């Protein structure tokens, strides 16, 4: 009588244990599924972020110019003879002349006992590169252009200040002219200041030109000085445009060069063999054309005056 009872007890205990095992197994299975789902979600998120960053980079317009001309060579000899007779050029300090460059000329044209004519001419250029976070080189240059114009207008000691737009000088250009007075040998001397700020794509050009009559010489005509300053600005802008070698190769050409550089010697050999075979069969292979199109480079910051 006792044996059947003990056997029945063991059977019931085993039966009760089975659901517990199934529950544990079910939990383990669900946990594995959740982990896999989390990994898939993380992977999808990473791919989406990379895709978004790539799209943002494509939306930023690449900078047109990637270098600058030599500042002291931007003006013709005739222009320098007219604006700063016998003046000697002096290059401005720069850590990177492909980004920031300047040059100045000081001239003292003596007329003996009649006095002297003094002229000072300065040319400065600042180039901006496109940046995914900061924006395109053109937009950065446009903001700096506006700041330069504002700075030229902020001289509190200046008198008779006038501001006007300048046509035919880059994408946008402004002339700010004014008078200022200083002492020379206990006499008041009036200096005529002309500042032309212009922008060509991602480059800002600033031309400062002032003149004064010393020791009895008459004060130079402001209108004539303004025309000279505008002429100088146009020449500098033209020099920037003529810097063809300072423009980058097309994106397709750059990508092609990068791909070729990453290939192994055996792959390059195979490519050459393929090209020869293609030529013999009469099919023309596509080639990357080099053109002075746009490419982004490290961002520039700072200012020249």
Beta bridge partners of 135: 131
The answer to whether 186 and 156 are in contact (CB under 8 A) is no
SS3 217: coil
Q: Where are the alpha helices (DSSP H) in 88-221?
A: 137-153
Q: What is the pTM of this model?
A: 0.64
What is the block-wise mean pLDDT of the chain (305 residues), using blocks of 10 residues? 51 49 46 58 57 62 94 98 96 96 96 89 98 96 98 91 97 96 80 97 98 92 97 98 58 38 45 42 36 36 43
CA distance 100 to 130: 15
What local confidence, expressed as pLDDT, does residue 243 receive?
Answer: 84
What local confidence, expressed as pLDDT, does residue 156 receive?
Answer: 84
What local confidence, expressed as pLDDT, does residue 50 receive?
Answer: 53
90-to-105, 123, 131 alpha-carbon distances in Å = 6, 10, 32
CA distance 146 to 59: 24
What local confidence, expressed as pLDDT, does residue 183 receive?
Answer: 78
Contacts of 281 (CB under 8 A, 6+ apart): none
Q: Where are the alpha helices (DSSP H) in 63-212?
A: 77-83, 137-153
User: Tokens 């402004």 sit at which residue?
Assistant: 174
Query: For residue 253, with 0-12 CB atoms within 10 Å meaning exposed, 13-18 middle and 19 or more buried, which class applies?
Result: middle
What local confidence, expressed as pLDDT, does residue 200 receive?
Answer: 97
Contacts of 300 (CB under 8 A, 6+ apart): 99, 100, 126, 127, 128, 129, 140
> DSSP secondary-structure letter at 220?
P
8-to-16, 18, 20, 169 alpha-carbon distances in Å = 12, 16, 20, 105
Boundaries of every domain in the chain: 71-173+181-245
Strand ranges for the chain from DSSP E: 88-91, 100-110, 116-127, 159-165, 172-184, 187-200, 203-214
């Amino acid at each position: 009588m006792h044996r059947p009872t003990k056997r029945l007890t063991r059977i019931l205990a085993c039966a009760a244990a089975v659901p517990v095992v199934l529950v544990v197994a079910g939990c383990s299975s669900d946990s594995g599924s959740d982990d896999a789902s989390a990994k898939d979600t993380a992977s999808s998120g990473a791919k989406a972020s990379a895709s978004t960053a790539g799209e943002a980079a494509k939306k930023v317009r690449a900078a047109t110019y990637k270098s600058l001309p030599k500042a002291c060579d931007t003006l013709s000899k005739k222009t320098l003879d007219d604006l700063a007779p016998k003046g000697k050029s002096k290059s401005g300090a720069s850590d990177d002349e492909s980004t920031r460059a300047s040059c100045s000329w000081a001239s003292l044209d003596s007329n003996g006992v009649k006095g002297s004519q003094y002229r000072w001419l300065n040319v400065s250029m600042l180039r901006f590169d496109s940046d995914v976070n900061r924006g395109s080189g053109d937009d950065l240059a446009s903001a700096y252009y506006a700041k330069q114009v504002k700075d030229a207008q902020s001289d509190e000691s200046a008198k008779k200040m006038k501001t006007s737009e300048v046509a035919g000088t880059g994408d946008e250009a402004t002339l700010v002219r004014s008078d200022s007075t200083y002492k020379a040998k206990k006499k008041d001397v009036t200096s005529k200041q002309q500042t032309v700020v212009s922008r060509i794509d991602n480059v800002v050009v600033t031309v400062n030109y002032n003149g004064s009559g010393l020791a009895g010489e008459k004060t130079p005509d402001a209108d004539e000085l303004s025309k000279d300053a505008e002429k100088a600005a146009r020449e500098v802008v033209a020099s920037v445009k003529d810097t063809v070698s300072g423009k980058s190769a097309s994106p397709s050409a750059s990508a092609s060069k990068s791909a070729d550089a990453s290939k192994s010697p055996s792959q390059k050999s195979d490519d050459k063999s393929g090209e020869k075979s293609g030529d013999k069969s009469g099919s023309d292979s596509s080639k990357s054309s080099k053109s002075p199109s746009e490419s982004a480079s490290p961002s520039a910051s700072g200012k020249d005056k």
